[in-house]
Amino acid sequence: MVSVNLLIMIPFLAAALIPFLHKRISRLHIGWYVLLIPIILFIFLALYIPSIASGATYLFMVNWLPTYGINFSTYLDGLSLIFGLIITGVGALVILYSIYYLNENESLEHFYAYLMLFMGAMLGVIFSDNIMVLYVFWELTSISSFLLIAFWFQRKRSREGAQKALLITVSGGFSMLAGFIMIGSITGSFSFREIIEIIPDFYDHHLFIPAMLLVLLGAFTKSAQFPFHIWLPSAMEAPTPVSAYLHSATMVNAGLYLVARFTPIFGGEVAWFWLVTGIGLVTMFWGSFTAVRQTDLKALLAYSTISQLGMIMSMFGMSSAALNNGYSTDSVVYTQAAFAGLFHLINHATFKSALFMVVGIIDHGVGTRDIRRLGGLATYMPITFTIAMIGSFSMAGLPPFNGFLSKEMFFTSVLNIRELNIYSLETWGTMLPVIAWVASVFTFIYCMIIVFKTFLGKYQEERLERPAHEAPVGMLIAPIILGILVIVIFFFPNVLGNYLIVPAMASIFPTFAAETDLGVTISAWHGFQPELWMTIGVVVFGVLLFISLKYWKGIYALLPESWSFDSLYNAILEKTEINSNKITNYYMTGYLRDYLVYIYIFFIILAGGTLIYTGALDFNIVDDAPIDPIDWVIAITMSVGAIAVIFAKSRLTAILLNGVIGYGVALFFVLLRAPDLALTQSVVETVTTVLFLVAYKFLPEWKKEDSPRRTKSVNLLISILVGTIFVTVALAVQNGKLFESISSYFENSYELAGAKNIVNAILSDFRGFDTMLEVIVLLIAGIGIFTLIKLKARKGEEELENK
Amino acid sequence: METLITILAGVLVTVATYFLLSKSVIRVILGTAILSHAAHLMIMTMGGLKGGVVPLLDGEEQGPYVDALPQALILTSIVIGFAVTALSLVLAYRTYQETGTDNLDELRGNKHE
């Protein structure tokens, strides 16, 4: 049996091969070859349906980093199978559509390579059992989506959209990684299977809630939930097949997948319930409310996707209520929300992809997708119109389309959840159906906009770039298949329910599945239940509001454009850049003195602070060697000389006073019985003085410091503090002699090295390595000086070199 | 004796720091030179200044010798300090020649003001 791991790798392999194949094969469109891959994968996965439906699951292991517990392990169960079939199935249709949609002049090899990269990454996300591996694929989807959004990279808006999508999804992904690491450190495992087994022991762990929030942040950003939804409308700059595939059926579902996957881990928490349900419903409302306002068909579809994703998200959230008390016959009813969510997920993938393809056909055909310029296309594009109608009515929740069934089940769920007496639902629970209902009304309105404003009404040929005409057959095949699916699912929903959703429910509620059958029989007609009245209400109010749209459209103008989340995002980006610029320019002044001041202030705070903090200020001068009068004389002369340099009026004075200090040091070396040092010091001091004097002629005039008095006093204060700390540290160190010097060893220099001068023996024998490198320092300095003086790059020469 | 030299080194450090914070390149170089003097004196002092004879084995007096290790270290340091001072002096000379100034404030390369 071929393992699922191999299945994930096939698209990656294809992505690597496509550029080579593209060069070789020029006769046939490269997309035809690519098309084979998702078809094969789809068939392969479809073959698993019977065994998965009978309760089997498959675990495949490939060792990757076993020492860290990170292995490329994949798990095939009901939940991942649903997503796998959507990814490969819609993928095949999208590739078929893109063969006709994209021009031969486009860089097709890039397009299909990115698309295959994305497909492989997406399959990796849903089949990974190891959360770290899941994260790897998760970021790969972000990257390939980034590449696909900016496919037409010559356009500024494409690049902006891609950047926004990447920034938002990657920050979410990053927080998700933090959450995963927390889960790993709580449970000691990265495998879903093992985590689900042992997580009940860790509900009280202090990292449990932070891990949950971080993982949710990742899911919300990826699935375009409020307020992270803003990247999805901007991502509409991508080619339409990409929008149809990534931004309606696959990538945006990754967050939903994650929430469903983590429900058995975090689902029992009240925070999980309210966050997922609440954010889902808010997203649903905000998406549908904003969609009505859009004039661009793709933007409208983007907001409708946001809204539908919010709806599915809220259903997953509501289903987690069942986990609060564990299994009981009463709580099983709440799991049905997840069933409805999965059902709607499949439905959404079918009708939304079809709608995107329809919009692509319109855009391709007449050269615009602005609703204000469209109208009356129905007579010119009958097939496209039919598909658009099927898709829109399904999205609006009308029979005989699959959206009706899932919308009804959604209403059932929100009505059920109101009955629950936990999570303070008795006070807030009534809000849920109300928000859901209002959002559904707006959903109905924008669905009508798609159909009636685009296809019916007045045909405005003069405002179109090309006259309207029906699309080529090849372009219509994929949306037709999806449109047929929409209707087929309506008439035979239970096939889907029994074979796909029931096994997926077993993955979400493993403890419940052991006790009872989680399946429900979906029926199109279940009598005059409250949910049916809600749907009728949606239709009535929706029609009324749609007809009166131009009268109340003014409410959108109440909220100024600058108050949108988009402008907030832009403002944050802009302000961050401006402020970091300001901060950097504030402290990176370019003045050497300022940087030295920072360094000295840090020195003063750290060294002085440590001295005071550790109480090391302990002096003892009893052990000092006696001081000769001559020492006093030299020391005082040097101090006076040093201070006098500051006040020196001319260069010559300064140089000579520097010499006084140097020769003073040499005299001290004599007094302290260091003949070699005294010799070297006096020679070096002489040479340095000579050097200064040689440079005398070339060096600038010794000017008086013209700094302001304040700067000078700050400098003086810093200098005195540095000097004081230096002295205190030195005195404190001398107080604490810890052990004897090792120098007595070097006194054997005659026996060991045949040398009578101990200092020289150390330099050339015991520690000869130092001396060798010191010679190299001199050599480098010499070469440096030579280069500085001899080689002078003129500007003209530089240009010559660059040529 | 140790305390006296330590305080002397402290005075040198203070003067050197004051020079390093000034505007003129030549003062900064002078500051580094003075700072290295202070460092050398400190290495010497840290080795202990207790009496002893010159560390030469064929001298008239036989032990105890003064500590020879700090002397070797200082010798290395003097040479390196000299090399750096010489290089920076030439660098200052070249800078002055090319730019016509030795004022560090005027030598700023910061374009974003």
Give yes or no for a contact between A436 and A410, defined as CB atoms under 8 angstroms apart: yes
Is residue A194 domain-resident? no
A627, A642, A741 member nearest B11 (Cβ): A642
Q: Position B48: which residue type?
A: G
One domain, residues A315 and A429: yes
A665, A676, A699 member nearest B41 (Cβ): A665
Q: Which of A169, A32, A4, A27 is nearest to A112 (CA)?
A: A32
Q: What angle do CA A678, A684, A687 make, to 5 degrees?
A: 140
pLDDT score for B41: 92
- Per-residue pLDDT band for A458 (boundaries 50, 70, 90) equals confident
Interchain proximity B54–A673, CB inside 8 Å: yes
* DSSP annotation of A61: E
Q: Position B9: which residue type?
A: A
- Tell me the C-alpha to C-alpha distance, in Å, between residue A69 and each of A72, A436, A455: 10, 43, 56
Number of Cβ pairs closer than 8 Å across A and B? Answer: 260
Q: Tell me the pLDDT tens digit for each residue of A323-351.
A: 876 667 777 778 888 888 899 999 999 99
Q: Per the structure block, which two tokens stand in for A798?
A: 């530089």
A591, A757, A784 member nearest B104 (Cβ): A591
Return d(Cα A303, Cα A252) in angstroms, integer.
Answer: 12
Indicate if the pLDDT at residue A507 is higher than 60: yes
Mean pLDDT of all residues in A701-707: 67
Give yes or no for a contact between A393 and A355, defined as CB atoms under 8 angstroms apart: no
Higher-pLDDT residue of A7 and A737 is A7
Indicate if the pLDDT at residue A423 is higher than 70: no
- Those residues whose C-beta lies under 8 Å from the C-beta of residue A367, and which sit 6 or more positions away, are A464, A465, A466
Is residue A36 domain-resident? no
pLDDT score for A801: 43
Indicate if the pLDDT at residue A454 is higher than 90: no
Interchain proximity A743–B69, CB inside 8 Å: yes
Indicate if the pLDDT at residue A796 is higher than 60: no
One domain, residues A728 and A759: no
- Per-residue pLDDT band for A143 (boundaries 50, 70, 90) equals very high
Return d(Cα A391, Cα A695) in angstroms, integer.
Answer: 87
Indicate if the pLDDT at residue A314 is higher than 80: yes
Q: Tell me the pLDDT tens digit for each residue of A190-239.
A: 888 888 888 888 888 888 899 999 999 999 999 999 889 899 988 888 89
One domain, residues A505 and A432: yes
Give yes or no for a contact between A133 and A64, defined as CB atoms under 8 angstroms apart: yes
Is residue A613 domain-resident? yes
Is residue B39 domain-resident? yes
One domain, residues A756 and A713: no
Tell me which H or E stretch contains A65.
strand A58-65
Q: Tell me the pLDDT tens digit for each residue of A634-658.
A: 999 999 999 898 888 887 888 889 8
Q: Per the structure block, which two tokens stand in for A517?
A: 């059958």
**A645 to chain B: closest CA residue:** B15
Mean pLDDT of all residues in A456-485: 82
Q: Per the structure block, which two tokens stand in for A20?
A: 């080579």
Interchain proximity B52–A673, CB inside 8 Å: yes
Return d(Cα A747, Cα A752) in angstroms, integer.
Answer: 9
pLDDT score for A1: 45
Interchain proximity B15–A645, CB inside 8 Å: yes
One domain, residues A731 and A751: no
Q: Per the structure block, which two tokens stand in for A638?
A: 């040097």
Indicate if the pLDDT at residue A588 is higher than 90: no
Is residue B61 domain-resident? no
Interchain proximity B89–A707, CB inside 8 Å: no
Indicate if the pLDDT at residue A800 is higher than 50: no
A54 burial type by CB count under 10 A (0-12 exposed, 13-18 middle, 19+ buried): exposed
Which residue segment(s) compose the domain that B16 sits in?
1-49+67-101
A592, A702, A781 member nearest B87 (Cβ): A781
Give yes or no for a contact between B2 and A625, defined as CB atoms under 8 angstroms apart: yes
pLDDT score for A803: 40
Is residue B110 domain-resident? no
- Those residues whose C-beta lies under 8 Å from the C-beta of residue A398, and which sit 6 or more positions away, are A404, A539
Average pLDDT, chain A: 85
CA A192 to chain centre: 22
Q: Which residues on chain A are in Cβ contact (under 8 Å) with B104?
A: 591-593
Higher-pLDDT residue of A376 and A621 is A376
CA B89 to chain centre: 14
Return d(Cα A685, Cα A666) in angstroms, integer.
Answer: 9
One domain, residues A531 and A652: no
Give the burial string for A481-499 (b: 16+ CB within 10 Å, else e).
bbbebbeebbeebeebbeb
The interface predicted TM-score (ipTM) is: 0.93
How close are the terminal C-alpha atoms of chain A, in Å?
62
Q: Which of A516, A508, A479 is nearest to A343 (CA)?
A: A508
Return d(Cα A38, Cα A773) in angstroms, integer.
Answer: 65
Mean pLDDT of all residues in A417-444: 80
Please compute Rg for chain A using Cα positions: 38
Q: Which of B34, B89, B33 is nearest to A693 (CA)?
A: B89
Return d(Cα A666, Cα A203) in angstroms, integer.
Answer: 74
CA dihedral A538, A540, A541, A543 (to 10 degrees): 110
Give yes or no for a contact between A519 and A100, defined as CB atoms under 8 angstroms apart: no
Indicate if the pLDDT at residue A563 is higher than 80: no
Mean pLDDT of all residues in A10-24: 86
Structural domain total, chain A: 3
Tell me which H or E stretch contains A60.
strand A58-65
Interchain proximity A758–B42, CB inside 8 Å: no
Give yes or no for a contact between A311 and A276, defined as CB atoms under 8 angstroms apart: no
* DSSP annotation of A76: E
Q: Which residues on chain A are in Cβ contact (under 8 Å) with B21?
A: 593, 596-597, 600, 715, 718-719
One domain, residues A725 and A759: no
Q: Per the structure block, which two tokens stand in for B11?
A: 């005075």
pLDDT score for A522: 64
One domain, residues A464 and A495: yes
Mean pLDDT of all residues in A529-537: 83
Return d(Cα A215, Cα A212) in angstroms, integer.
Answer: 5
A632, A700, A722 member nearest B102 (Cβ): A700
| pTM, two decimal places | 0.83
Lowest mean per-residue pLDDT among A367-381, A522-536, A592-606, A608-622: A522-536
Q: Per the structure block, which two tokens stand in for A22?
A: 């593209």
**A592 to chain B: closest CA residue:** B104
CA A699 to chain centre: 56
pLDDT score for B112: 45
**A631 to chain B: closest CA residue:** B1
Return d(Cα A582, Cα A210) in angstroms, integer.
Answer: 34
**A673 to chain B: closest CA residue:** B54
Q: Per the structure block, which two tokens stand in for A548?
A: 């009166």
Is residue B113 domain-resident? no
Q: What angle do CA A284, A509, A43 make, to 5 degrees?
A: 80
Q: Position A346: which residue type?
A: I
Higher-pLDDT residue of B109 and A573 is A573
Is residue B32 domain-resident? yes
Q: Which of B29, B79, B69 is nearest to A777 (CA)?
A: B79
Please compute Rg for chain B using Cα positions: 19
pLDDT score for A368: 83
Tell the residue number behind the tokens 């249709």, with chain if given: A93
Q: Which residues on chain B are in Cβ contact (under 8 Å) with A716?
A: 18
Q: Tell me the pLDDT tens digit for each residue of B22-79.
A: 888 888 888 999 999 999 999 998 877 777 788 888 766 676 888 888 999 999 999 9
Lowest mean per-residue pLDDT among A112-126, A688-702, B18-32: A688-702
Give yes or no for a contact between A388 and A479, defined as CB atoms under 8 angstroms apart: no
One domain, residues A475 and A494: yes
Q: Tell me the pLDDT tens digit for each residue of A709-766.
A: 788 888 899 999 999 999 988 888 877 667 777 888 888 888 888 888 889 999 999 9
pLDDT score for A425: 66
What sign does the CA torsion over A246, A252, A253, A257 have? positive
Structural domain total, chain B: 1
CATH code (residue B31): 1.10.287
Interchain proximity A743–B51, CB inside 8 Å: no
One domain, residues A386 and A534: yes
Q: Which residues on chain B are in Cβ contact (under 8 Å) with A631?
A: 1, 4
Give yes or no for a contact between A181 and A70, defined as CB atoms under 8 angstroms apart: no
- In this structure, are strands A58-65 and A70-76 parallel, antiparallel, or unpaired? antiparallel
pLDDT score for A159: 92
Q: Is B43 on the interface with A (CB under 8 A)?
A: no
Which residue segment(s) compose the domain that A752 sits in?
745-789
Q: Is B8 on the interface with A (CB under 8 A)?
A: yes
Rounded to a whole number, what is the distance in Å from the CA of A567 to chain B's nearest CA?
28
Tell the residue number behind the tokens 């699935």, with chain if given: A223
pLDDT score for A307: 92
Indicate if the pLDDT at residue A705 is higher than 90: no
One domain, residues A322 and A377: yes
One domain, residues A513 and A626: no
Tell the residue number behind the tokens 């310029």, with chain if given: A373
Give yes or no for a contact between A460 and A368, defined as CB atoms under 8 angstroms apart: no
Q: Is B62 on the interface with A (CB under 8 A)?
A: no
pLDDT score for A2: 56
Mean pLDDT of all residues in A132-140: 93
pLDDT score for A518: 66
Half-sphere exposure in the Cβ direction for A366 (13 Å, CA): 27
- Tell me the C-alpha to C-alpha distance, in Å, between residue A161 and each of A12, A158, A222, A299: 25, 5, 15, 12
Return d(Cα B19, Cα A647) in angstroms, integer.
Answer: 11
Return d(Cα A125, Cα A255) in angstroms, integer.
Answer: 10
